[in-house]
Structure 1
Amino acid sequence: MATIGEKRTLTLGLGFLCLVYVLLFLKPSDKHLWLTKHLANNTVFQVSSTELENLLVTCRSLPILNTTASRTNEQAGPRPSPLKDPLPLPSQSGCFPYLSGLYVQPVPEHDCDQPYVTVNQAGRLGNKMCQYASLYLLRHLFGVRVSTLDEMHATLDKFFKNIVMPIKNPSCFMGKAKSISYMDLYDKLYRAAAQAWTNTTSSVIKEPLLDTSYHVYDYPGPRDLFLEHRKLTHTLFKFRDEVMKNAVQNINNALMSFNATYHQRDFPIVTVHVRRTDYEGHMKMLFNLTQLGKLYYTNAFEFYKKRLKRPLFLVVSDDPKWCRENLQAKDVLVIASEVPAEDMAAMSLGDHHITSYGTFSFMGALLGKGNITHPLTTNPRYRFVRCVDSPVFHRVPRGDKQEY
């Protein structure tokens, strides 16, 4: 009978073999997530005995692969078609293609000789979150060095406890960056990645894709990419404990009349965002759209009532008075909060979501789970969600002429 020491040695040995299996045969995207965790900040690669034992458990659930066949299939797998010049530009299509199955080895953040990318930090919370996430996606997808500016970091750090993207400093982010739009930079990186992929038999690109530093001057917020990478976005924004605690308390206060709490209930919560005070002029000037009215929210309520059993709608808004006068009902409650970050945290706790226009509304719903409704708008000047093709994203009629 094997001793405890022999069993442990055998377990660790099998765990190590499983580690080799993970590194060699997992999909590049899955392998990237695992490696990113253990190679963060370019530290020495270390795996504890506990993690090797956990790997053994994982390994038992993985399918057995034929090594020779796997390598052959990887080399003979789908390849990108030869590049046609010009490829469709994101700025022309308005959409953001990416090469699935491709892994670009990240440039070390401390390699100060390599180019970098920064992004505009203007706007309020929703804008800054979109810009931060957009910047992170460039590193995630294309491996480029990125850094935030001071104001963006300071604003986000107030509400989230994991804002870890480097802050631009002159010692390691040197030289003046060229100004560029997010779409044009994305297109440049996409083309470079596609070209590098056609020149290699591997699914890993090791050479850097940038030769110049860039500053993104506009307000990026690619909804289609965000939804495609929703789980990743969840990892970027973890609310500080005090913000989340207050958000849960705000929800509990609203649920008192139902003799329920957020954690003790037998019905789904659909969060509803209503933005009004400063948006009427903004929407009219930029998109020739009017405010969303009662009809849109009524349509969205009905959308969920047909699909859920006894949903409760919790409304957050910069105009709670209008909401109480126009929306409140036995299954529609308005959360009384004066802190925007707490409203967004409350939205992230919902099982499903009804959004209005704007980045704040979208990001709050994105950080949650479940389905998202958005006003149906075919107005050609409003293009933010035109490329979204997700099973969780639903366009609900506004109920007025402005949807055309």
Structure 2
Amino acid sequence: MDPTGRLGNKLCQYSSFWALQRREWLQLPVLPEACARQQENFLSISYFHYGESGTGLSDGPLLLLDHPCSLTEFHPYRRELLQQLRWRPEVRSMYNGSLVGDVYLRRALELCRQRYHRPVFVVSSDDLAWCGRHLAAADVVLAGSTGAGAAGRDMALLAQCNHTVMTHGTYGFFAAFLAGGDVVVPVGFGTMEDYLTSMMRSTGFNLTTVPVE
């Protein structure tokens, strides 16, 4: 099995491989990557490349490539997989939080109205309808775009702003990084501070934290 890739890749690979064993009631050996790579050196070593075909077994050894994620293979065994893929308590409780919502955003916008002279808020989101329902105001412009290249166009627009109100994730973080100025971030949505907030704090960003509730 391929040891590279992040958590999602590894979980897909594990689930696909486990489902093959479960379906056929086989004990399929897992070869270390160094052993599997010997097919590059010896002509007699060959594997069924699961990552290339996506389904099925063969009479020969099995090699999983490119982090296969064969949902058709492992979805029928979802209940059994969920019994295995249970979070350890220390992992589950690390954040113990939720996504920020309209309460935080309205508080953040009101703070900016008090801090800056006649601000205009440019809103970008993959759910502009939600933003329109919860953030509608005379000084709020729903400027996000759709279609091919939308993410790039939206970030280019956000990068022209003087300051940034962030929610979660690296997209908003990088827009704030490009824009400069003040950055408003949520606090209190989990038991631990978000790693992006910690990183920005440690590198000298001008942060203002706003409670989510």
2:177 corresponds to 1:369: no
**Structure 1's 396 and 381: CA in aligned 2 closer, same or farther, altered over 3 A?**
closer
State how 1:54-203 maps to structure 2 within 5 Å.
none
- Classify 1:369/1:120 alpha carbon distance in 2 versus 1 (closer, same or farther; 3 Å): farther
**Paired-residue identity, %:** 28
Structure 2 CA distance, aligned partners of 1:343 and 1:375? 21
Deviation at 1:122, TM superposition (A): 9.9
**Residues 381 and 366 (structure 1 numbering): CA distance in 2 closer, same or farther, change over 3 Å?**
closer
Once the 2 structures are TM-superposed, how far is the Cα of residue 286 of structure 1 from its aligned partner?
A: 7.7
Q: 2:107 aligns with which of 294, 299, 306?
A: 299
Q: Is the 8 A contact 2:187 2:193 kept in 1?
A: no
Aligned partner of 1:385 in structure 2 is 197
Counterpart selection for 2:143 from 323, 332, 335: 335
Per the alignment, do residues 122 and 353 of structure 1 end up closer, same or farther by CA in structure 2, a change over 3 Å counting? farther
Mark the runs of 5 or more structure 1 residues left unpaired by the alignment. 1-118, 124-283
Q: Specify the alignment match of 2:64 in structure 1.
A: none
Q: Which residue of 2 aligns with 1:358?
A: 169
How far does the alpha carbon of each residue in 1:355-378 deviate from its partner, in whole angstroms, 9 at most, with x for none? 111011100111112111110136
Q: Alpha-carbon deviation of 1:384? A: 3.3
Distance 1:122 1:360 in 2: 20
Q: TM-score, normalised by structure 2?
A: 0.50
Cα distance in 2 for residues equivalent to 1:325 and 1:297: 12
Select the residue among 98, 113, 116 that pairs with 1:308.
Answer: 116
Per the TM alignment, residue 121 of structure 1 is displaced from its structure 2 partner at its CA by 9.1
| Displaced runs of 4 or more, over 6 A | 119-123
Deviation at 1:343, TM superposition (A): 1.2
Shift in alpha-carbon separation, 1:121–1:348, aligned structure 2, 3 A: farther
Q: Which amino acid aligns with 2:123?
A: V
Structure 2 gap ranges (5+):
9-91
Paired residues of 2:164 and 2:184 also in contact (CA < 8 A): yes
CA distance in 1, matches of 2:142, 2:93: 29
Q: How many residues align?
A: 121
Alpha-carbon displacement from aligned partner over 1:302-352 (angstroms, at most 9, x marks no partner): 221121100000100010000001102101111140111111111111011
> What secondary structure does 2:197 align onto?
coil
SS in 1 for 2:132: helix
Q: Which amino acid aligns with 1:393?
A: L
SS in 2 for 1:361: helix
Q: Deviations over 1:361-399 (max 9, x none)?
A: 10011111211111013622733323514351211111x
Query: Aligned Cα RMSD in Å?
Result: 2.8
Equivalence for 1:289: 97
Counterpart secondary structure, 2:122: strand
Query: Matches of 1:307 and 1:356 in 2, distance apart?
Result: 19
TM-score normalised by length of structure 1: 0.27
